[in-house]
Structure 1
Amino acid sequence: MSIRSNIGQEENTLRPRFGLAFCLLGRAEAILLARGAGFDFAVIDMEHGPLGLGDLGQAAAAGIASGLPVFGRVTGPSSPDIARVLDCGATGVIVPHVDSAEDAARIAQACRFAPRGGRALPGPLPVLDYRVLPAAELTDGAERRVEVIAMIESAAALAAVEEIAATPGIDMLMIGSNDLADGIGRRGDLAHPEVLAAFRRIAGAARQAGIGFGVMGLPAALVQGHALDLGAATLVATNETNLIVEGGAAILRDLRGKLSPAAGAGSRP
């Protein structure tokens, strides 16, 4: 059985895994924070924010040492960093803006070793403890630890989703929720029936192709209907920026709600 179909079947039989994305905090300690909170994986987001390959490498090393998978999100199908994310120790690469089967094939070509693709043979890899191995053993071991994830985020991607899902070498479709809603003319309205219909089509394409299905960017109230009920087994729950801002705001509302009217009035100039 292929690596691709194994991942799809495992995702459908195991409990959902929930991840935390990092857009600003790239230190190794961030991965330990995610693990301590109980997340199943972390994402280093190099698309939105200042984080780069150096941050990804440090985070991936911490993930390998602590047993928490770390994924790297690059900037798109033309990113020069797609294979380098894997060389640096990431469990997998998340590629946004995959709008066609041609985009998907380009990604798979970059991530898979010959004869499945054209990934260059690396030196000793962190995912294999930097052991010096024969080339065949190196490539086989590296391939078994890779997830290649195509993000569906536009009307064009939705129209081609069945072909994208069927592309050899793609392991998972992941919806970028806000971008997809925006792309089909429903900006900010994730609960709209057209958005849910799009989610259903993408989930069905992944299921038909025997690959994984994941979601990023859903509010908690929609996770059941837009993700879990459709078979999503990989969910990026939030990012650290939203977690701090929203969590901090909630704490302050609670604390300020405990103030007496007089204290509340006196606390501001």
Structure 2
Amino acid sequence: MHLQSASFSDAVNIGLAVCVMGTVEIVTVTCKAGYDFLLVDMEHGRIGIAEMTEICVAGLLAGLPVYARVTGPGSPDLSRVLDCGASGVVVPHVDTLEQAQSIVKRTRFMPVGERSLPGPLAICGFGSVKVPNLIEKAERTTRVIAMIESQSGLHAASDIAELEGIDGVMIGSNDLAASLGHLGDVGHPKVKQAFAEIGQAAELHGKSFGVMGLPTELIEDQALALSAGMIVATNEINLLSEGADRVLGEYRQISQNARTT
């Protein structure tokens, strides 16, 4: 069986990450705002498998793709998040081809991988499905995305992107910049060149290219110009903090104006 890379829409898919507020209400907020997908971040923060499952099942019912970012290539939850309803798994800190091969082995069913056959899956409505049908639907709808966040990952990017079973590569912007010796300077020319090399590797092998943690002023040059199809715009706690600052500032200004008139 040859796996076809799960296709993204021709338009750029813009997503929201959830890091702290792991309840199903985030699905409604994400849909109402018009985001194209939701990423549940299990790498940084308090969200665990139970909260992720609730969000993913709600996403399935709402028609919203929900991806789970696990803790790394060695995460015990690599296949479990897929069993529990995630549309795909985003794996951070993929530094070598060998790590990517291990990820494929654990997230893809035979003959491409060795993912264990689960019981009823959320993507099948928890109904009883014949094994061939279960595998066909799972492989057709599941996306496996490797995050490139280091100099070693940059060197292996083309091999990782070429690997059957990997649907796309995504850059962890801040970690990649730090690994290249430019902590906090995502727009540095050396970092920008790394973005270009990773984007070109994805395009060469017909895989999706995505970015996460990239400031808005760099989106055009370091994402759109490289045909990025998946952009994680921000996370919910940043939105809350920024909104709280803005609203408080407005109210402070109104109060000050009232006292001076």
**Please, what TM-score do these two structures have when normalized by structure 1?**
0.93
- 1:54-203 maps to which residues of 2 (within 5 A)? 54-203=50-199
Give the Cα–Cα distance (whole angstroms) in 2 for the partners of residues 214 and 3 of structure 1.
20
How far did residue 31 of structure 1 move? 1.0
Shift of 1:255: 3.2
- Helix, strand or coil at the partner of 1:97: coil
Structure 2 CA distance for aligned equivalents of residues 47 and 5 of structure 1: 25
Q: Deviations over 1:225-268 (max 9, x none)?
A: 1101110010111001111112221222333334437849xxxx
Residue by residue, what CA displacement relative to the aligned partner does 1:89-134 show, whole Å, maximum 9, x if unpaired? 0000000000000010010111110100000001111101112111
Which of 249, 252, 255 matches 1:256? Answer: 252
Give the Å deviation of 1:2.
Answer: 5.1
Offset of residue 50 of structure 1: 0.7
User: Do 1:4 and 1:211's aligned partners in 2 also have CA atoms closer than 8 Å?
Assistant: no
The CA RMSD over aligned residues, in Å, is: 1.6
Cα distance in structure 2, aligned partners of 1:263 and 1:187: 45
Structure 1 letter corresponding to 2:61: A
- Between Structure 1 and Structure 2, how many residues are aligned? 260
Given that 1:19 and 1:42 are in contact with CA atoms closer than 8 Å, whether structure 2 keeps it comes out as yes
Corresponding residue number in structure 2 for 1:228: 224
Correspondence for 2:214: 218
Cα drift, residue 84 of structure 1: 0.3
Letter in 2 for 1:147: R
CA contact (8 A) 1:4 1:170 kept: no
Alpha-carbon separation, structure 2, partners of 1:263 and 1:156: 59
Could you tell me how far apart the structure 2 residues matched to 1:258 and 1:185 are? 45
Alpha-carbon separation, structure 1, partners of 2:19 and 2:109: 30
Structure 1 residue 163 displacement after superposition: 1.0
Cα distance in 2 between the residues matched to 1:263 and 1:102: 66
1:207 corresponds to 2:203: yes
Structure 1 residues 247 and 60: CA distance shift in structure 2, 3 A: same
Gaps of 5+ in 1: 265-269
Structure 2 residue matching 1:42: 3-state secondary structure: strand
Amino acid corresponding to residue 109 of structure 1 in structure 2? K
Aligned residue in 2 for 1:51: 47
Q: Which structure 2 residue ranges, 5 or more long, are not aligned?
A: none
Q: Distance in 2 between the 1:112 and 1:238 partners?
A: 29
**Deviation by residue 1:142-191 (Cα, 9 ceiling, x = unmatched):** 11110000000011101111111111110000000111111111111111
| Contact kept in structure 1, 2:148 and 2:171, CA below 8 Å | yes
Distance 2:238 2:6 in 1: 33
User: 1: distance between equivalents of 2:259 and 2:68?
Assistant: 47
Q: What TM-score do the two structures reach when normalised by structure 2?
A: 0.95
User: Which amino acid counterpart does residue 55 of structure 2 have in structure 1?
Assistant: A
* 8 Å contact kept, 2:3–2:164: no
Q: Does residue 30 of the first structure (1) align with residue 26 of the second (2)? A: yes
